[in-house]
């Protein structure tokens, strides 16, 4: 392809003024036709086209490398997002499990508190029953002690009354016998001393019985204290 002189001049002027050169496959078909100035233009345009293509290729390679890196990073991010999603899902499942366990623990705690209250109530009732049993035992022992003492005192009183009545009866009978002997003028030398000794013995026995009873009563009261 052989451009005319005007076209050559316009292309050279455009290159000088605007730094714009022909590009691409058209440079391969252009013929300078012996024009050295236009040949220099073509050579410069060819070099600039090669340089531009080289830079474009490097840029393309760089972009491809960047795209590859971006793809790797994108895949890595995707993997990380999947891991994060799995972790979040697992955390959600763990959260559900923990909430279920917390509910079970709360129910268990409430059940334990209810059982504890029941046990406390049962223990209080058992303690009250024990105290009532102790009080009943003490009351029974006191009643039994009072009954025994009453029975003992009644028995002692009966013994004392019988003994005193016997002593009095013997004393009265002996005295009447002695008075009858005196009244009928009988010899009282034997009856008198016998009557005196008998009265002394009876009085001694009466005081002995009373003293014994008082001693038993004192010992019983002291033992109680």
* Averaged pLDDT of the chain: 78
Share of the chain above pLDDT 90, in %: 0
Using pLDDT thresholds of 50, 70 and 90, give the confidence band for residue 211: confident
Cα distances (Å, whole numbers) of residue 128 to 114, 115, 134, 139, 143: 21, 19, 10, 16, 22
Closest of 2, 27, 1, 22 to residue 12, by C-alpha = 22
Q: pLDDT tens digit string along 82-96?
A: 888 888 888 888 888
Query: For the chain, how far is it from start to end, CA to CA, in angstroms?
Result: 151
The CA dihedral of 199, 204, 210, 214, to the nearest 10 degrees, is 170
Amino acid 116: pLDDT: 82
Under the banding of pLDDT at 50, 70 and 90, the label for residue 225 is low
Q: Over the stretch 106-141, which tens digit does the pLDDT of each residue have?
A: 888 888 888 888 888 888 888 888 888 888 888 877
Is the pTM for the entire model greater than 0.75?
A: no
For the chain, how are helix, strand and coil distributed in percent, rounded to 5?
Answer: 90, 0, 10
∠ Cα 171 173 179 (to 5°): 100
Select from 198, 213, 192, 125 the least CA-distant residue to 166: 198
Q: For residue range 52-102, what is the model confidence (pLDDT) as tens digits?
A: 888 888 888 888 888 888 888 888 888 888 888 888 888 888 888 888 888
CA 55 to centroid of chain Cα atoms: 76
């Amino acid at each position: 392809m052989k451009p005319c002189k005007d076209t050559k001049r316009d292309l050279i002027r455009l290159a000088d003024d605007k730094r714009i050169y022909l590009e691409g496959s058209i440079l391969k078909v252009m013929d300078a036709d012996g024009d050295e100035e236009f040949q220099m233009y073509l050579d410069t345009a060819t070099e600039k086209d090669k340089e531009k293509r080289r830079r474009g290729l490097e840029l393309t390679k760089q972009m491809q490398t960047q795209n590859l890196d971006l793809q790797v990073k994108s895949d890595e991010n995707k993997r990380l997002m999947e891991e994060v999603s799995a972790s979040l899902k697992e955390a959600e499942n763990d959260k559900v499990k923990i909430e279920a366990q917390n509910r079970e623990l709360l129910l268990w705690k409430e059940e334990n508190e209810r059982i504890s209250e029941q046990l406390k109530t049962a223990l209080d009732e058992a303690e009250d029953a024990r105290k009532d049993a102790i009080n009943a035992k003490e009351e029974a022992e006191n009643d039994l002690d009072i009954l025994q003492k009453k029975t003992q005192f009644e028995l002692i009183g009966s013994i004392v009354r019988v003994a005193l009545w016997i002593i009095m009866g013997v004393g009265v009978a002996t005295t009447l016998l002695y008075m009858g002997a005196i009244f009928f003028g009988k010899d009282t030398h034997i009856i008198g001393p016998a009557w005196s000794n008998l009265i002394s013995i009876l009085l001694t026995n009466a005081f002995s019985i009373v003293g014994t009873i008082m001693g038993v009563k004192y010992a019983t009261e002291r033992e109680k204290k």
